[in-house]
Structure formats: C-alpha cells, structure tokens
Amino acid sequence: MAWKGLLDTYGDFLPLTEATPRLSLCEGNTPLIPLPRLSEELGITLYVKVEGANPTGSFKDRGMVMAVAKAKEEGSHTIICASTGNTSASAAAYAARAGMRCLVVIPNGKIALGKLAQAAMYGAEIFAIEGNFDEALSMVRRLSETAPITLVNSVNPYRIEGQKTAAFEVCDQLGRAPDVLAIPVGNAGNITAYWKGFKEYHEAKGTGLPQMRGFEAEGAAAIVRNQVIEQPETIATAIRIGNPASWQKAVQAANESRGKIDEVSDEEILAAYKRLARTEGIFAEPASCAAIAGVIKQRERNEIERGSLVVAVLTGNGLKDPAVALDTAAIEPIVLPNDEQVVLEHLQGVVHT
C-alpha cells in the first residue's frame, strides 16, 4: 500500500478531528539503516534513523504537518516561527501546501545555505535579526500572544505530537524499542517527542523503553551545565541554542529513562560527520552527527554497554549545509583542460597510484 503520510498512518495516536485537514507531503516512513562498520568498531549494534529523508530534509516535517493542519483547522491564516533553519524550511513548505502565509525569524548569517534557499523557494517571508535563536524565539512567542498568527515552534504542543511518530516507526522497524536512543538536543523538543512516543507505544503495544541519551554541542550545552548560555557557539548551527524551551522535559526524559543529557565538542561532531559519510555512505548535517559523536564518546567511556542495540537519530540531511561539508572535506577539485588526451593521461595516472 502506498504511504500517505503521518496523519493517515498514525491517526489513532494523534489529536485529529473530523475537521482536521488531511495535510500531507508523504512525510515519515524514513529508513532505519544499520551501520555494520561502526557497529563492529564500537562493539554494539548501531542503526541510524535517517530523518533527512523527509520531504524537506529534516525531522521537522513530522511535527509541522500536525501543527499546520491544526492551525488550518482552527481558522488561522498565518504561521510564524523562529528558526536555526530546518523549522523555517519545513514551516514554509507546509504553509505553501496548506495555502497559508509563513513568517520566519532567523539569526542573521547563522543558518545553513540550503535551509535558507528552501524557505525562500517555498515563499516564506524571511526576517533575519542581529541576534541568536533564543532571542528570535522570545520575540515570536511574544508576538503570537497578541497577533492573529499561529506559532509553530516546538512550544506548540501539536509539534511534539507529530514528532513522536518517529519513535513509533523505530519500534515498528526493529520490532521493539532499542536499548539506547541517541539524539541531538537543541531546543529539546525532539527528545521530548521521542520519549512521549516510546511511552505511548509501549503502553499500546508493549514495545519496551529505551534509555534516552541526548547530546548538546559543547558551546551550547545549557542543560549539561545547568545554566543559560547567553552567547551559544557551535559549528552545528541547527543546535546553536543557549536556553532550550523544553529544558525541563529533556531532563525528565533523561531521568525517567535512566539516560543522560551529555555534550560533544565541535571536533567530535566533525570527526563523526566525516566518519559516517566515509565509512557508511551516509551524509547527515553536523547537528545530526552530535548523536553519532555522543555514541562514540559514551562507548569509549563504557557508558553504553557492549552489545547494546542503539539507534542514533540523524535529524537532517547533509546537503542542508554545503559550506561545512566543503570546509571539512578540504579538497579542491583538480581543474583540467577540456582535452581528452590530457584528461585521460591524468586519470590513468591517478588510477595507477
């Protein structure tokens, strides 16, 4: 049967009514891919949930389809969000699909190029502030309290409802919940959503519960440090967030599941980013690779037991951020003249080395 998207598939677990429009870009149903090389090297069974395979290239589509459908149902004409990039791309796409206006507020110069291109192409009205994500979020929250517009950041509870479906899929794909779920943490909505999803599915189907391991970037590790970071910095711009909105819920997910909120450095993120692409053929954006970096770090410290079944969530597609990719690979293409003889001789030389 053809996949029709999340509202169609998981309606029984979602707050749908007869009046909720069945909005869909066929989001969800993303692959769970085994990583044989990394599994062997780390002494675990490691899978990745490839959320970059969603229609706009990130997990945000799961929450956005639900939030935008409910906004439409409630008669709203305009949605707004603050974003480090992916939320704005997804909001813009679903607004276009639903025939709504979309306003996005982003930190100027701190969002990956692909994400900006998406928001622009889907027709969002884009405002770049000389401030960071946390400041942008506080502005749009205040505005949405008085203006007739719907806030679609993850403080909107429908976002969490949609995003929890990823946990359902992981359980369906594995036949049970993994022992450990590793996930990057920015504003902390997604870890909140996964934990809710695992608990609901366990209650309905007895699928078990994982330990939740969330990973912040070291320069933006507010939860780990237990203090607001006024000027967060990390190469993983998607999680460059110093005052996560769902802070307490992330702590609760970690505590209830006997997991942990931990941090990884930019060096660890970039090493994992490269290793994942080169040894497994999977290209995920830097923030996503915080989950892989975290698994590597916690295996080295034996905080994840040998033999564990681990799922790492790759939240966004590598193509979102071509600038970091080109900097990391650090390879300039070798430019050759348009002369068959010269090109062939050069390539023959390469093949024989």
Query: Which residues lie near ligand F0G (CB under 6 A)?
Result: 58, 60, 83-87, 154, 184-190, 238-239, 285, 287-288, 315-316
Helix (H, G, I), strand (E, B) or coil at 180: strand
Can you tell me the distance from the alpha carbon of 305 to that of 298, in angstroms, rounded to the nearest whole number? 9
Between 5 and 184, whose beta carbon lies closer to ligand F0G?
184
Residue among 138, 328, 106, 110 at smallest CA distance from 240: 110
The residues facing 309 across adjacent strands are 45
Smallest gap from Cβ 150 to ligand F0G, in A, equals 16
Smallest gap from Cβ 61 to ligand F0G, in A, equals 11
Bridge pairing between strands 45-50 and 78-82: unpaired
Residue among 296, 190, 188 at smallest CA distance from 244: 188
Between 5 and 63, whose beta carbon lies closer to ligand F0G?
63
Between 86 and 298, whose beta carbon lies closer to ligand F0G?
86
Matching residue, tokens 């505005």: 143
Can you tell me the distance from the alpha carbon of 137 to that of 119, in angstroms, rounded to the nearest whole number? 17
Smallest gap from Cβ 245 to ligand F0G, in A, equals 8
The residues facing 214 across adjacent strands are 183, 261
226 token code pair? 């237990």
Can you tell me the distance from the alpha carbon of 241 to that of 243, in angstroms, rounded to the nearest whole number? 6
Smallest gap from Cβ 220 to ligand F0G, in A, equals 10
Smallest gap from Cβ 347 to ligand F0G, in A, equals 37
Residue among 182, 183, 172, 232 at smallest CA distance from 208: 172
Smallest gap from Cβ 11 to ligand F0G, in A, equals 23
